[in-house]
Structure 1
Amino acid sequence: MFLAPESPWWLVRQGRIEEAERSVNRLMSKQGQEAAFDSQKAVAAMIHTNEMEKHITVGTSYVDCFKGIELRRTEICCMVWMIQILCGGGIMAFSSYFFERAGLNTAYSFDLTMAQYGLGAVGVFIAWALIPWVGRRTLFLVGQVLMMVLLLIIGFIGVGHKSQASSWAVGALLLVYVFVYDITVGPLTYSFVSEISSTRLRQKTMVLARNAYLVANIVNNVLTPHMLNPTSWNWGPKTGLFWAGVCFLTIVWAYYRLPEPKGRTCAELDDLFERKIPARQFASTVANPFDNGRRHGSVEAGSRRQE
């Protein structure tokens, strides 16, 4: 925390403009520096946007998140966060027990759990490099498909005869699953919920989305122990088949409902949502946020947000 730079947006809201400019320069990528990025203009846009937010957030309520085009944005944010669990990610919370139920002893289960966390960290670092280059939607969908395939393989191994080799195969596949999750769905969720929600309802939308995630997590924490416990449903690795089926449903939803926000300003996203552009056409549609003679709730910053 001591090494983390202050957010320029937070500094602007505190009236510390010079510090905000220094923070922008510190956070700027090499590409931005080479393009002669003007930090003063960026901070000026932040000041302007902050003043507008003060006006447009007055009088808003949670009910507004379910009205008109805001309902679609709320749905996307809630579903994306829930998919962290619905894609089978909840198994990771019970990974040690899952490894034991797959046939590995306690020591090996512990070792694989530690390896899981290490691979997860590496996956997040790789995601940092991939997200600016690969579309959020594309990376999210690819991750879902790969995770579904891995869950299917784990489940089918569980159907067969249990052996030491099959136990290690299940353990290795779950590690690969965690690695894929932390490159794709895991970190991308936070990008989506912050970009898709509208400026004037962002705080309320994120509260609703996080609560949706917690509800999904409660369901997972009730169901998964029953699936794994030998005195209950006793599914063991076959649990992967159940979550693969749920993951498939989330893939269908994401294909038709999840838009591509990469490289879009807040104003451009407002325009695309107001024009009710289908999710699959977001990336190819030209946004014209000022063509209709009025400004949207989120103001064009003059330059595209950092990818």
Structure 2
Amino acid sequence: MASPTEKNVDGDVPTQAPLGALKEEGAASRDNLSLGDMIQNARTATENEHSMTLLQGLKLYPKAIAWSVLISTCIVMEGYDISLVNNFYAFPQFNQKYGVPSIDADGNVTYQVPAAWQAGLSNGAVVGEIIGLLVNGWVSERYGYRYTVIACLTLLIAFTTIFFTAQTVVHLQVAEILCGIPWGVFQTLTITYASEVCPVALRGYLTTYINFCWGVGQIIGIGVIMGHLSRTDEWAYRIPYALQWMWPAPLIVGIYFAPESPWWLVRTGKLEQAKRSLLRLTSLNRETDFDADDTIAMMVHTTAFEKKITRGASYLDCFKGVDRRRTEIVCMCWAIQNLSGNSFSNYSTYFLQQAGLSNDKAYSFAMGQYAINCVGVFGAWALITFGIGRRTLYLYGLAGLFAMLLILGFLGLAEDRNAASLATGSIMLVWALCYQLTVGTVCYSLVAEISTRRLQIKTVVLGRILYNVVGIICGVLTPYMLNPTAWNWGNYAGFFWAGSCFLCFVYTYFRVPEPTGRTFAELDLLFEKKISARKFAETEVDVFAENIEQDVVKDYQDQIVVSHRETKV
């Protein structure tokens, strides 16, 4: 039954009755909420989430979708810059400014940014991101998601100035590191926000949408570079850097008005604010049995259960007890993105150049690859809609990537280099599609669902740090693999990444579970009972049969009373 509604003091935002109000005539007030009442309300909300269809979720949570999409757009900026720095290595004007001269096989003078500086620039952002990730694990839990994002966007406005005015490669290195700090915050905060503002029916879509934003940034970046290929002055690379200023200001304005995550508000004891935030995320035209009080009760129940099994909420607690397994899986899911050959594909333009393609063809193939990165997300949505699980997509995706990396390696044996280079470009497009349909997109959903709510930000932070550490290693190795003045492996690099991808497949089979269709509390219980990854999907659990100590729930009863009294004041 829906709760009674009333208008706020402004008369323009309909809300449900406060937590202290009676849910029904004769019912106990929320101020005197018993354990049995809370569990029953939470059970009702859980059943509603399980029965909610995709269409019902879209109708009930359109505002949550819009706000999540807005905050996820921050990732576009990171995708844009990473696209610039990796593709500038094949950009003549950029190389003339920041590279060193060399003589090619025909005796012509060419400019190349040395492999050491290529690795340094690519990894500079990663170093900054690691710093930002560690900061985010503390700041966003303390000050909330909205204010953390706004502060980071403000910093980006200042740091972009260094890119625009850089006179040496050292200045670029400083800019990459500094800009990497807010990008690191965006990498995890956007995922956490998306997973916490939507129900189970929408969780897979909103978390994986973040990968679409990454692809959009890459497309814009490569498109801007192609649009300036004809320029021969310094503005050919300065304008692309200056365009980074177009994002932060409008995002700051929009995010200022966004509702805070209700899960974060519950964790901090602000239950009245959590309810108001939840109502701002839902539609007034409800066609389900949605009840904000029941949903808040479910959040309280889940938080109480997690407090029972996870006493602390520090980085160290991520490696204690059952959370050690969850942290390991989240970390490896992130690392697999790089270990399956993604870092190799990030250098696609440079790689295709070295494989024999002209500049315009190399950039055209790269543009096609980045377009596939976006389209692949929608393909992944279709697969999720048809009921294919996250674990299944990961396994089959890694198998397909392994096969194509082997083909890339064998193309290095072809004598006709022109035909081999075109075949290489084509295979890389197919590889990109397979990657985005599976590993590249589904990872965002897995890491958001597998981590516990109390430790989610910190767990995802640790996973993303490992992703970046692996990215640094791959970022050092890849330029040497491809650079003609270094190892010059060319297509043979495909064999190296094929071996790495096979090991990822083996790990996924034995360790990565299936979280599809589970509430956060159910996932907590499955991990608590140490269910095998291969049996997650078929194991039945009842989170409401578990004993939650009365003193734990008493903490939240007290928070309800305090929150309600503060609202009255």
For 2:67, what is the secondary structure of its paired residue? coil
- Show the counterpart of 2:514: 260
In 2, the alpha carbon distance for the partners of 1:70 and 1:242 equals 33
- Show the counterpart of 1:304: none
> TM (normalized to structure 2)?
0.47
- Show the counterpart of 1:158: 412
Alignment pair present for 1:121 and 2:374: yes
Matches within 5 A, 1:92-131: 92-131=345-384
- For the 8 Å contact 1:11–1:17, the answer to whether it is kept is no
Stretches of structure 2 lacking an aligned partner (at least 5 in a row): 1-64, 69-192, 198-259, 553-569
Matches within 5 A, 1:57-76: 59-76=312-329
For 2:322, what is the secondary structure of its paired residue? helix
1:183-204 Cα offsets, whole Å, 9 max, x none, are: 1111211111111111221121
- For the 8 Å contact 1:53–1:199, the answer to whether it is kept is no
1:49-78 Cα offsets, whole Å, 9 max, x none, are: 587499678743211111121111010000
Alignment pair present for 1:25 and 2:87: no
Amino acid at match of 1:4: A
- For the 8 Å contact 1:53–1:200, the answer to whether it is kept is no
Match of 1:48 among 280, 300, 304: 300
- Show the counterpart of 1:177: 431
Pairwise CA RMSD? 2.8
Match of 1:77 among 324, 330, 339: 330
> TM (normalized to structure 1)?
0.85
- Show the counterpart of 1:236: 490
Shift of 1:146: 0.6
Q: How many residues align?
A: 290
Alignment pair present for 1:245 and 2:492: no
Shift of 1:45: 3.5
For 1:193, what is the secondary structure of its paired residue? helix
- Show the counterpart of 2:538: 284
Range that drifts further, 79-88 or 121-130: 121-130
1:224-243 Cα offsets, whole Å, 9 max, x none, are: 11111122211101111100
Larger Rg computed on CA atoms: 2
Amino acid at match of 1:149: A
Amino acid at match of 1:208: L
Stretches of structure 1 lacking an aligned partner (at least 5 in a row): 298-307
For 2:346, what is the secondary structure of its paired residue? helix
For 1:88, what is the secondary structure of its paired residue? helix
In 1, the alpha carbon distance for the partners of 2:297 and 2:444 equals 23
In 2, the alpha carbon distance for the partners of 1:51 and 1:89 equals 36
In 1, the alpha carbon distance for the partners of 2:305 and 2:279 equals 20
Range that drifts further, 36-45 or 137-146: 36-45
1:244-269 Cα offsets, whole Å, 9 max, x none, are: 10000000000000000001111111
Alignment pair present for 1:38 and 2:290: yes
- For the 8 Å contact 1:81–1:212, the answer to whether it is kept is yes
- Show the counterpart of 1:301: none
- Show the counterpart of 1:218: 472
1:67-102 Cα offsets, whole Å, 9 max, x none, are: 121111010000000111000011121110111122
Alignment pair present for 1:203 and 2:457: yes
Range that drifts further, 47-56 or 227-236: 47-56
